[in-house]
Structure 1
């Protein structure tokens, strides 16, 4: 039930609604964010150049070889270039890796998440300003901003170089597994079963054994190229979702098992949300810009899939209670055109003191 079609479609809907809400925030249209948007476009151009270097190098090598070998009727040279392009973009996901690496270099995305979360709270207050404050949900931004970004004392925080190294090692491990699976898929006789078996292994925990068997059977009929693209889209959308949620988890510090349960209980919605943005962040040049918009939209997502955090002194209790998505069934059964009704019912009566203590003029 965590990964049913309705949950995935709700996640995709949250993608569209989140973008709409984020673009309504006047705080995104400031000189600072304009400058960051320009830098994002420049970064997208730089990523495009970096990724193109190997392909340009191979083309140059083939051009040199053409003076020594007759390639007028050869087909393998085009196959080499196309294969390298497919390897970079669909197997190793090099542009996506470089894009997500930017989070660890600049704090802009973290600030964009918090600014957008504040805007979501402001919008909520304005929409319900005529109602009894005691019946409104608590706010997300005021308490979450009090949490330490890393949950550690400055002298114990991980250096940036070490953080980037760990991230690169993690990516390298995933890239190595992808290359190994791809290589095994070319083994005679048994190779055609490698990718379908990987599909079954991937989805049995997410959707259950019976749907996973159906995916395995369908995978036997899908060409290798498209099956690889399907699997990599699934893994990359999950990675993207985890990166987008990092500003939240950098403050509310779940341990490994807690975070695993948190993600599993919301798997379908998170996959739909992540997949929706993954399709757009792959657009050359502007993908980095859309990545920033996805971060801003994640603030709206948070208000739908978890409860408002209490002050940091109550963080441990909150973490235990928030592992399960308490109002999942109510949210997934809401009419498509009335998703915001979830805001009131979700946390009515919880943390109401925060609502009463927050000056109303702050949200005007």
Structure 2
């Protein structure tokens, strides 16, 4: 009798199919609200970063001048090949009559599209600069210290026990290594970066070339867009394996349907802007992941759970990065703004000696729904432990927690992982 009661009734096939379809159409991690909040953080983070007086020192003025100079060099590196082709076409115009054709203009426009959107040459050159010099990493840490300082100034006079812990003091104590390979070798980091870029560039060129194939070519870019947004990723949690798509079947179908009717140029720009914003966020978050050691699966889950917000934040700065000559300078502002972003989507890191299990606990964004529903002028509300304590169910739980301090969330997750491993063994 007890066994029958313990058995859960199975859902009818129609209801099970409906639930599966709704799960595929779900955009909970990539919804419009999260994208808009990410775009808002682009502006708010940049304004707060620019309020840091340490940015306006003689050393940083020098760095800003070098950034503008680097922007000029990058722009010249892009324009010189196009200028060379224009000169070559001008010489050929004395031999071949281009007056009745548009071949020369189409060739120049095609090369410009390849450089700026298919191969993302400007972003590639800026990424190299960020890996060669420690300037951006220093700017991230300096801005993180400023975010902590302004937070406590804003809550001056309140009980320290009701405020969140600081991010900078513990994070700066972690050894710095590459966030993907966990190595400290700059040469190895650059080699792997070039390999990743070559792989992405080769794939982009292949898709772009296939889009010119007669008849089927017009479906190549829409199909690539559909695959990109509906790509299924395995997500491992403590107790189960789930399968999640990047954006969901619904958005992927919309992108595919509209992509068939869009001109090739605009579809390439849209698709590459999405990829570039993702790559930009990974580069901007490198100072954090180079210190907090995540496994490959943990890092994938971390990004997946914050997909919409990171896309809104990344696409905002990607648009600003395309401003001629000032791209590298804006890259620095974006890095400083990322320090503010980190305080909204992660918990304060523990001391390095207590870091076991912390990365695993950060895979899920704990206050996601509360943060996305906050008013723009009240973004710091969830950074107080008082807000979190108000969500407790009873007053008795608060009293018991004052008698015995609760374990940090990553310690609780660590014990759950050990119990799960014991059960498997």
Normalising by structure 2, we get a TM-score of 0.79
- Contact preservation (8 Å) 2:86, 2:108: yes
**Displacement of 1:16:** 0.8
What residue is the counterpart of 1:22 in the other structure? 49
Q: Which runs of 5+ in 1 are unaligned?
A: 353-364
Distance 1:65 1:351 in 2: 75
Distance 1:350 1:43 in 2: 50
- Listed one character per residue, the Cα deviations across residues 26-51 of structure 1 (whole Å, up to 9, x for unaligned) are 01111111110000000000001111
- Contact preservation (8 Å) 1:310, 1:351: no
- Contact preservation (8 Å) 1:138, 1:350: no
The answer as to 2:152 corresponding to 1:112 is no
- Listed one character per residue, the Cα deviations across residues 277-336 of structure 1 (whole Å, up to 9, x for unaligned) are 000001110011000000000000000000000001122221111111111111111123
Change (3 A) 1:240 1:222: same
Indicate the larger mover: 182-191 or 114-123.
Answer: 182-191
Poorly superposed stretches of 4+, deviation over 4 Å: 345-352
Distance 1:98 1:124 in 2: 35
Q: What SS does structure 2 have at the residue aligned with 1:46?
A: helix
Q: 2:272 aligns with which of 222, 232, 255?
A: 232
- Contact preservation (8 Å) 1:146, 1:311: yes
The answer as to 2:363 corresponding to 1:310 is no
- Contact preservation (8 Å) 1:37, 1:289: yes
Normalising by structure 1, we get a TM-score of 0.92
Q: Which runs of 5+ in 2 are unaligned?
A: 1-27, 231-244, 390-404, 409-425
Q: RMSD value over aligned CA atoms?
A: 1.8
Q: 1:88 aligns with which of 112, 115, 121?
A: 115
What residue is the counterpart of 1:133 in the other structure? 160
Q: Which is greater in Rg?
A: 2
Q: What SS does structure 2 have at the residue aligned with 1:324?
A: coil
Q: 1:200 aligns with which of 207, 226, 232?
A: 226
Using CA pairs below 8 Å that are at least 6 residues apart, which structure has the higher relative contact order? 1
**Displacement of 1:192:** 1.1
Give the aligned length.
349
Q: What SS does structure 2 have at the residue aligned with 1:252?
A: coil
Distance 1:158 1:121 in 2: 28
Q: 2:88 aligns with which of 61, 68, 71?
A: 61
Distance 2:342 2:76 in 1: 35
What residue is the counterpart of 2:193 in the other structure? 167
What residue is the counterpart of 2:216 in the other structure? 190
The answer as to 2:69 corresponding to 1:42 is yes
- Contact preservation (8 Å) 2:177, 2:184: no
